[in-house]
Amino acid sequence: MTRTGLVSVIAVAAATLGLALAAAPAAAQSRPDDLASLPAVPTSYEPARLPWGDYDFTGTWPIEKLNEGRILFQRPAQYGNRVWVTDEEFERRLAAARGNDGNFTQANENGVGAAGTEGLESWFQNADFGKRTSMLVSPADGQLPALTPEAMALFRAGRSGWVPGQAYNWVSDFDSWDRCVSRGFPASMYPFRYNNGIRIFQSPGVVTIVLEMLGTRVVKIYGSAAEARAATWGDGVEAWMGNSRGWWEGKTLVIETTNIVSGDAATYDVAARSASPLNMATQFTGSLTVPAFNTVPMSTEAMTVERLTMTGPNAIVHELTYSDPQVYTAPWTTRIEWSRDENYQFFEYACHEGNYMPRDYISASRAQQARIRAGEEAAVTAENDDRARFATPFDWDPGVGPRPGPGGAGAPPPPPPPADSDD
């Protein structure tokens, strides 16, 4: 499929989503009476303008509360097709947030000892997103579309520092995030367990999006979608964050990104490896299928369309539609909320501990393999490797009830993978 054809796929997907949203009240983003409907993003707020006329989105917009609040990427099965939680489920989230805030302690002078959260309960009470069931809004069930057979084969053959039963013999056994190159795109636009800061800077014709963990995006702004698409890089020119071009549609900043580094995790050629579009550096509900282990491939047809709309002085709604017809059987769309916090501080992202991590893992793994060959240690398999835990849910949304297992009985566990997931 050509990029032109792919743009058409995105347009159809966006139009389909738009029809679904149009059925809901268009004037509000807050929770509607129909908990399965998603209102259109409100555009009544009038942001300030910069001297050259563009709307002013500058500021610090961390998405840390999405992580702290445990609102997952994919929707927990207990919510079904609901986009919004019930009052009872919301109260459980509030109670958990209140407990987390109550456990807050300051770090010592060495930065050690911090615990709990600050302001999480208040965020839930003031952010519309606090009542949402997941980041993913399309497909309607809140689950990622299936991988194509070809992509599933590459996913299962992929290698990274997260795959159970795999040894570390060389740098090709680590993914781009392990090697501190990139979290991947669009994975970098979603929260992880830490370093979730986002800053926006603007100058005439340019919007710069600075990500706290491994990434800065420089988006050139054009006068129209046609002009932006005409400026797409040629085939064979790729970047970890892709080629992002933007334009304004009323009060909404639209950004289209193509030319993302393509490849897979099955190859032993480090230069031919891509970053997984969603991975362990994304807060998600994992499974034995996808997107666990950082091994989902990316083709040359991968692209995103983002829509950023300021809905108040301290809130930006960020929508992203991802399409890669060679990998996913359908496009998928997320909608999350960025909250302004000008007190949030960025610090240097110091990665893999002074460049020792890959060497140390390789040395330790080779020594372990020698012990296994000598019969001094049992072989490591996918079943007895503690990395198998990365195929289970990243975290537990307190809105669905107590966490299953010891000390958390009372809530049903997530459903098992489909019976044919190994096909």
Specify the DSSP class assigned to residue 268: S
Does the pLDDT of residue 394 top 70, yes or no? no
Predicted confidence at residue 28, as pLDDT, reads 39
pTM here? 0.85
Amino acid at residue number 47: P
Predicted confidence at residue 161, as pLDDT, reads 86
Task: Tell me the torsion sign for CA atoms 215, 284, 320, 29.
Answer: negative
First to last CA, the chain: 25
Instruction: Report how far apart, in Å, the C-alpha atoms of 380 and of each of 47, 168, 172, 365 are.
Output: 56, 12, 19, 11
Q: Rounded distance, CA 325 to CA 7, Å?
A: 11
- Residue 98 in any domain: the answer is no
Percent of the chain exceeding pLDDT 90 equals 62
Predicted confidence at residue 81, as pLDDT, reads 93
Predicted confidence at residue 281, as pLDDT, reads 62
Domain housing 183: 56-63+139-393
pLDDT band at 404 (very low <50, low <70, confident <90, very high): confident
pLDDT in tens, 109-145: 766 667 788 999 999 999 999 999 999 999 999 999 9
Average pLDDT of the chain to the nearest whole number:
85
Predicted confidence at residue 108, as pLDDT, reads 75
Range 327-355 average pLDDT: 89
In terms of phi and psi (left: phi > 0; alpha: psi -120 to 50; beta: otherwise), the region of 354 is: left
Determine the length of the chain: 423
- Residue 217 in any domain: the answer is yes
pLDDT in tens, 172-199: 899 898 888 998 999 999 998 888 999 9
Does the pLDDT of residue 360 top 70, yes or no? yes
Q: Rounded distance, CA 174 to CA 62, Å?
A: 28
3-state secondary structure of 41: coil
Does the pLDDT of residue 400 top 60, yes or no? yes
**Torsion of Cα atoms, 269 then 275 then 281 then 283, to 10°:** -140
Does the pLDDT of residue 392 top 60, yes or no? yes
- Residue 82 in any domain: the answer is no
Nearest to 30 by CA among 135, 130, 133, 139: 130
Does the pLDDT of residue 94 top 90, yes or no? yes
Name every residue whose Cβ is closer than 8 Å to that of residue 267 and which is 6 or more positions away in sequence.
172, 273
Q: Which runs of E-coded beta strand occur in 126-275?
A: 136-138, 198-203, 206-211, 215-222, 243-249, 252-258
pLDDT band at 259 (very low <50, low <70, confident <90, very high): very high
Does the pLDDT of residue 292 top 80, yes or no? no
Instruction: Supply the DSSP string of 301-356, one letter for each residue.
Output: T-EEEEEEEEEETTEEEEEEEEE-TTTBSS-EEEEEEEE--TT--------HHHHT
Instruction: Report how far apart, in Å, the C-alpha atoms of 163 and of each of 72, 151, 295, 357, 395 are.
Output: 22, 17, 9, 17, 19
3-state secondary structure of 260: strand
Range 331-352 average pLDDT: 91
- Residue 193 in any domain: the answer is yes
243-249 sheet: strands from edge to edge: 59-60, 198-203, 206-211, 215-222, 243-249, 252-258, 303-312, 315-323, 332-339, 136-138
Q: Cα 382 vs. chain centroid, distance in angstroms?
A: 26
pLDDT band at 23 (very low <50, low <70, confident <90, very high): very low
Q: Which of 90-94, 98-102, 210-214, 406-410 has the lowest mean pLDDT?
A: 406-410
- Residue 406 in any domain: the answer is no
Q: Rounded distance, CA 382 to CA 157, Å?
A: 13
**Torsion of Cα atoms, 174 then 178 then 179 then 182, to 10°:** 120
Predicted confidence at residue 226, as pLDDT, reads 98
Name every residue whose Cβ is closer than 8 Å to that of residue 166 and which is 6 or more positions away in sequence.
159, 160, 173
Q: Rounded distance, CA 305 to CA 7, Å?
A: 9
Nearest to 39 by CA among 141, 128, 124: 128
Does the pLDDT of residue 362 top 50, yes or no? yes
- Residue 253 in any domain: the answer is yes
User: Omega before 418 cis (within 30°)?
Assistant: no
Nearest to 117 by CA among 156, 75, 67, 61: 67
Predicted confidence at residue 29, as pLDDT, reads 56
pLDDT band at 205 (very low <50, low <70, confident <90, very high): very high
pLDDT band at 291 (very low <50, low <70, confident <90, very high): low
Instruction: Report how far apart, in Å, the C-alpha atoms of 190 and of each of 35, 220, 320, 337 are.
Output: 24, 22, 10, 11
Range 152-168 average pLDDT: 89
Does the pLDDT of residue 158 top 80, yes or no? yes
Predicted confidence at residue 87, as pLDDT, reads 96
pLDDT band at 18 (very low <50, low <70, confident <90, very high): very low
Q: Which helix (H) or strand (E) holds 18?
A: helix 3-22
Range 104-113 average pLDDT: 74
- What's the structural domain count of the chain? 1
Q: Which of 87-96, 149-158, 213-222, 355-364 has the lowest mean pLDDT?
A: 355-364
- Residue 143 in any domain: the answer is yes
Range 141-167 average pLDDT: 91
Give me 339's structure tokens: 């909250």
- Residue 246 in any domain: the answer is yes
Give me 400's structure tokens: 């669905």
pLDDT band at 290 (very low <50, low <70, confident <90, very high): low
